[in-house]
């Protein structure tokens, strides 16, 4: 139940944030390479939120954060689409992010030596008083 544990830590983070308590919308950026079930996670988040009366006004939105890679050899930045060739490969990477290294090549220099700079794990973004968030 990895999803529940993650949802719990999101709620904890929200509870510790001053701005969020006042009812500012919270965006959970859900990494494209995250290997958890988004539906279960979203359900867990809703359920846990209901148990927190002080977060009654809090709205949580889940957004996908696109994966981004940076080649160590040549410095090129690229996304998942540019890096993989077949839909099957893309599926594999989704479920097993550790396998990314085996599948992904720098589209410029074909090196397997790269860093994952975005799209791993979860992060929270709080938008202040009704202010709209920039979309990626």
Residues near Zn ion (CB under 5 A): 71, 73-74, 76, 106, 108-109, 111
> What is the nearest approach in angstroms of Zn ion to the Cβ of residue 76?
5
Output 13 or 111, the one with its CB closest to Zn ion: 111
Q: Which one, 76 or 124, has the nearer CB to Zn ion? A: 76
Residue number with CB closer to Zn ion (72 or 96): 72
**Could you tell me the smallest distance in angstroms from the CB atom of residue 80 to Zn ion?**
15
Residue placing its CB nearer to Zn ion in the complex, 42 or 111: 111
> How near is the Cβ of 96 to Zn ion at its closest, in Å?
23
Which alpha helices (DSSP H) does 1-136 contain, by range? 2-16, 18-21, 38-50, 80-83, 87-95, 100-103
Smallest distance from the beta carbon of 26 to Zn ion, in angstroms? 36
> What SS3 state is found at 67?
coil
Distance from C-alpha of 20 to C-alpha of 95, rounded to nearest angstrom = 31
| Contact yes or no for 46/80 (Cβ under 8 A) | no
Give residue for tokens 């994966």.
67
Q: How far apart are CA 50 and CA 105, in angstroms?
A: 44
């Amino acid at each position: 139940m990895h999803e529940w544990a993650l949802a719990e830590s999101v709620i904890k983070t929200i509870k510790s944030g001053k701005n969020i308590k006042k009812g500012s919308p919270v965006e959970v950026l859900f990494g494209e390479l995250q290997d958890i079930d988004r539906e279960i996670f979203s359900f867990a988040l809703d359920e846990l939120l209901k148990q927190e009366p002080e977060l009654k006004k809090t709205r949580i939105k889940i957004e996908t954060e696109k994966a981004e890679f940076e080649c160590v050899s040549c410095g090129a930045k690229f996304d998942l689409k540019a890096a993989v060739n077949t839909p099957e490969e893309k599926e594999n990477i989704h479920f097993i992010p550790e396998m990314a290294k085996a599948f992904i090549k720098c589209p410029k220099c074909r090196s397997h030596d790269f860093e994952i700079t975005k799209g791993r794990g979860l992060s929270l973004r709080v938008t202040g008083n009704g202010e709209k968030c920039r979309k990626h």
